[in-house]
Amino acid sequence: MSEYVPGHVPQAGWQTPPPTPPPTQTQAPPQAPLPTQTLSPTAAEAVIAEDRSVLPNLAWEGVLLPIAVIMIVLASLDQAFGFAGPWYPLAETGLAASGIALSLRTGTPNLAVGGIVAGSGAVYVKLLAVGTGVIPAMAVVVLVALAFGAVMGVVTGLTRLPAWAVSVAGLAGTQAAVIALIQSRPAAVAVEHWLFQDAGVPWFVLFVVVSVGGAGLWLLPGVRQALAPSAEQAGSARVRGAVVGLAGSSALAGLAGVLIAGRLGTATGLEGNLPVVLGAALLGGASVFGRRAGVAGTVLGTTVVTTVVGLLQFHRAGLWMVYLAGTLAMLLGLGVSWVLDLVSRPPAAQPSHRMQG
């Protein structure tokens, strides 16, 4: 043990360590910028975007309105539809076109509509021929068409098969049924004028109410979400949308077939011109991509196409020209659907909902 000596400096072991210099601050290396993440829109934002997407359809309907008025005036001047006016033919075509538009809205295009129109007319004539009353026969035909469409909807919803493929199979079945019912000898039945030609305006009003009223309901976000779910959504939602789209469109087509057969008093199997009704729906702005459509577009598209067909028939154009007119309307409607989809789509956004077919 060392003795303490005044003024003696302690040895190294006792020395106070020098103060630690402050650490030199080194600049952190620059970090790479984080990749930009695109956040999916919320449900509310998606609803707002869809509500705004109807504006191009309304603008297109504003273009169609004067065209439809001009065509009505031209047909009236020529008396292409006689003194009764175009209201009954508009109802015939319009109900089937409304069915097509419904199936397009739900994303389940029903290509069997033409066959259902022809088949419903044949069944209606057969029921009258065996003594069934007019109203019961009409009810049976519409219910059978509704059930037929519901079966197609269940198959489409459960199997996830494309609706267009399922409905084409249904079209083949209806065509076979029409051939079996008619067998080149179509029955002729009495025409109930009070219910058909003489009631053209009420039937036209029914068509407008169904078309515009259904379009108004479709503007409700809850209805769209319930009946036109996203492609990724499975289960009961897909089945519900497919059943409503295919069954509803088939029922409207069945009613249209009854109106045609009731006016003619027979069934020829040539009813249900698919290019005409599909062209009317597409020309009115119903989207081939599903979900999107306007309000009065189907009524206006039907008016334009039906008056063109009526003028052709009045001037004794060949049947091939009628089908050609429907085909041109369908091609023009596809172009309209494409353009409206482009201008309705939000910038840098991909459509999140596509039809099942």
pLDDT digit string (tens) for 142-201?
999 999 999 999 999 999 899 999 999 999 999 998 888 887 566 677 778 778 878 889
Residue corresponding to tokens 């479709």 = 218
Domains within the chain, CATH numbers bracketed: 46-344 (1.10.3470)
pLDDT at 113 over 90: yes
Where does the pLDDT of residue 15 fall: very low under 50, low under 70, confident under 90, or very high at 90 and above?
Answer: low
Closest by CA to 116, choosing from 135, 103, 105, is 103
Closest by CA to 290, choosing from 164, 162, 165, 108, is 108
Where does the pLDDT of residue 266 fall: very low under 50, low under 70, confident under 90, or very high at 90 and above?
Answer: confident
- Tell me how far CA of residue 198 lies from CA of 16, 171, 210, 262, 263, in angstroms: 118, 31, 20, 11, 10
pLDDT at 270: 73
CA torsion, points 309, 312, 314, 319, in degrees to nearest 10? -90
Where does the pLDDT of residue 351 fall: very low under 50, low under 70, confident under 90, or very high at 90 and above?
Answer: very low
**2-11, 34-43, 254-263, 336-345: which is most confident:** 254-263
Instruction: For residues 87 and 263, give the distance between their C-alpha atoms in angstroms, rounded to a whole number.
Output: 13
Instruction: For residues 27 and 280, give the distance between their C-alpha atoms in angstroms, rounded to a whole number.
Output: 69
Can you name the residues that pair with 188 across neighbouring β-strands? 266
pLDDT at 7 over 70: no
243 and 155 Cβ atoms separated by less than 8 Å: no
Where does the pLDDT of residue 236 fall: very low under 50, low under 70, confident under 90, or very high at 90 and above?
Answer: confident
3-state secondary structure the chain: CCCCCCCCCCCHHHCCCCCCCCCCCCCCCCCCCCCCCCCCCCHHHHHHHHHHCHHHHHHHHHHHHHHHHHHHHHHHHHCCCCCCCCHHHHHHHHHHHHHHHHHHHCCCCCCCHHHHHHHHHHHHHHHHHCCCCHHHHHHHHHHHHHHHHHHHHHHHHHHCCCHHHHHHHHHHHHHHHHHHHHCCCCCECCCCCCCCHHHHHHHHHHHHHHHHHHHHHHCCHHHHHHHCCCCCCCCHHHHHHHHHHHHHHHHHHHHHHHHHHHHHCECCCCCCCHHHHHHHHHHCCCCCCCCCCCCCHHHHHHHHHHHHHHHHHHCCCCHHHHHHHHHHHHHHHHHHHHHHHHHHCCCCCCCCCCCCC
Instruction: For residues 107 and 104, give the distance between their C-alpha atoms in angstroms, rounded to a whole number.
Output: 5
Q: How far is CA 93 from the centre of its chain?
A: 16
Residue range 274-300: mean pLDDT, rounded: 91
pLDDT at 352: 46
